[in-house]
């Protein structure tokens, strides 16, 4: 089984297009979508209910907006209650900027031994469509800096939330960190998961991501400069932890 974890906050403009893509892509494997509705105040909850009749989909609803980190934490807890040996978890955004055809490459990498696979903008074949120059430069500089401060073998894109996790990695993360797996509240939580996975040990790899930010209709919720500062504060905090032997 392939599980898809989608955190969602006020995604009424983009979530329907993504869910329609799930319908049209006709995956050749069994899958289940788990959406964590992080206290949306728009039509996101109604959209989720509508598509429950069209897709293998379930949802967890926060009573108020708690941030991406808490949504990921809730989602990982939900996955732990379901996942079995040989299952795979795919995390992706709810705004339709991550093409679902990338999933096959992620799955193939995990089935051939990888524990974490990142869909990367920064490897050969990766692209950033619709991202302004300033944001692209900041992302590249941040990933380069993170790679120097905290090298993870084979990883160039530290902030991409489009990833695959093996069953072994999910259970290892839970054993090592428990309820403290995700402590960051904002967008730095995606980096936190990657760094903690590196502490847990395992094999890492990347596949090309053709980011389609030009498809996004809703406004971005990320404050880029603030998030980058949070990245480096996170590294200082996690440096105190011992890597797995």
What are the tens digits of pLDDT across the range 75-131? 999 999 999 999 999 999 998 899 999 999 999 999 999 999 999 999 999 877 766
- Structural domains of the chain, with CATH: 2-238 (3.90.550.10)
pLDDT at position 217 over 80:
no
CA dist 142 and 193 (Å) reads: 17
CA dist 222 and 220 (Å) reads: 6
Sequence-ordered alpha helix ranges (H) in the chain = 15-25, 44-51, 68-80, 103-111, 133-149, 167-177, 188-200, 224-238
- Would you give the DSSP letter of residue 192? H
The predicted-structure confidence for 126-180, as pLDDT tens digits, reads as follows: 877 766 666 777 777 778 888 898 999 999 999 899 999 999 999 999 999 999 9
The residue-averaged pLDDT of 201-229 equals 77
CA dist 44 and 235 (Å) reads: 34
CB atoms within 10 A of CB 183: 17
Pairing of strands 163-166, 88-91: antiparallel
Whole-model pTM above 0.75? yes
pLDDT at position 245 over 50:
no
The predicted-structure confidence for 30-43, as pLDDT tens digits, reads as follows: 999 999 999 999 99
Contact between 215 and 97 under an 8 Å Cβ cutoff? The reply is yes
CA 191 to the chain's CA centroid: 9
Confidence class for position 214, pLDDT limits 50, 70, 90: confident
Q: Please provide the average confidence, as pLDDT, over all residues in the chain.
A: 90
CA dist 135 and 139 (Å) reads: 6
Which has the higher per-residue pLDDT, 47 or 141? Answer: 47
CA dist 133 and 137 (Å) reads: 6
Tokens matching residue 181: 């797996």
The predicted-structure confidence for 228-238, as pLDDT tens digits, reads as follows: 788 888 888 88
């Amino acid at each position: 089984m392939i599980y898809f974890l989608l955190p969602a906050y006020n995604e009424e403009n983009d979530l329907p297009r993504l869910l329609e893509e799930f319908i049209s892509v006709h995956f050749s494997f069994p899958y289940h979508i788990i959406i964590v509705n992080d206290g949306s105040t728009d039509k996101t909850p109604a959209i989720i209910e509508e598509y429950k009749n069209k897709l293998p989909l379930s949802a967890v609803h926060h009573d108020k907006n708690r941030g991406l980190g808490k949504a990921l934490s809730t989602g990982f807890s939900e996955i732990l209650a379901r996942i079995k040996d040989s299952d795979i978890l795919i995390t992706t955004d709810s705004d339709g900027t991550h093409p679902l055809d990338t999933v096959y490459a992620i799955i193939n990498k995990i089935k051939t031994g990888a524990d974490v696979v990142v869909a990367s903008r920064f490897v050969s074949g990766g692209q950033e469509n619709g991202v302004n120059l300033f944001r692209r430069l900041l992302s590249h500089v941040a990933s380069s800096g993170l790679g120097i401060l905290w090298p993870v073998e084979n990883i160039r894109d530290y902030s991409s939330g489009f990833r695959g996790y093996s069953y072994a990695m999910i259970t290892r993360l839970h054993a090592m960190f428990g309820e403290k797996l995700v402590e960051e509240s904002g967008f730095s939580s995606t980096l936190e998961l990657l760094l903690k996975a590196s502490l847990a040990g395992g094999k890492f790899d990347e596949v090309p991501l053709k980011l389609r930010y030009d498809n996004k209709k809703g406004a971005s919720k990320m404050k880029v400069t603030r998030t980058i500062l949070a990245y480096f504060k996170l590294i200082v905090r996690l440096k105190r932890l011992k890597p797995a032997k």
